[in-house]
């Protein structure tokens, strides 16, 4: 750039476009995160946050499947066995 003015490469319209675009994206992201706070279901709320934060879809799927499986196993462990008429110690009132 012989004899050129270095200020000539600074273009105001593209700078404004980039700054306003960045500001708009930041505001939109903030509004989405604020809207998620209104979701009552903690499981759904956490998953929405992961999706909005840009978690890879395959990673998100693996996270969801493993947590659902863990929840099912925990529910089975905590479940009370059914009382059948032939179960020892089963007292049924007729």
Per-residue confidence (pLDDT) for residue 92, from 0 to 100 = 53
Strand ranges in 18-70 using DSSP code E only, listed in sequence order = none
pTM as predicted: 0.47
| 32 CB-near residues (< 8 Å, 6+ apart) | 52
Tokens of 93: 């009132």
pLDDT in tens, the chain (94 residues): 577 787 878 888 889 999 999 998 888 877 777 788 888 888 888 888 888 888 899 999 999 899 889 888 888 876 666 666 666 665 555 4
């Amino acid at each position: 750039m012989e004899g050129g003015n270095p200020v000539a490469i600074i273009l105001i319209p593209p700078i404004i476009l980039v700054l306003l675009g960045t500001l708009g994206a930041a505001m939109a992201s903030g509004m989405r995160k604020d809207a998620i706070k209104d979701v009552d279901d903690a499981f759904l709320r956490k998953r929405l946050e992961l999706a909005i934060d840009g978690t890879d879809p395959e990673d998100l799927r693996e996270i969801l499947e493993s947590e659902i499986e863990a929840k099912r196993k925990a529910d089975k462990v905590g479940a009370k066995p059914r009382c059948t008429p032939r179960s020892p110690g089963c007292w049924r009132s007729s």
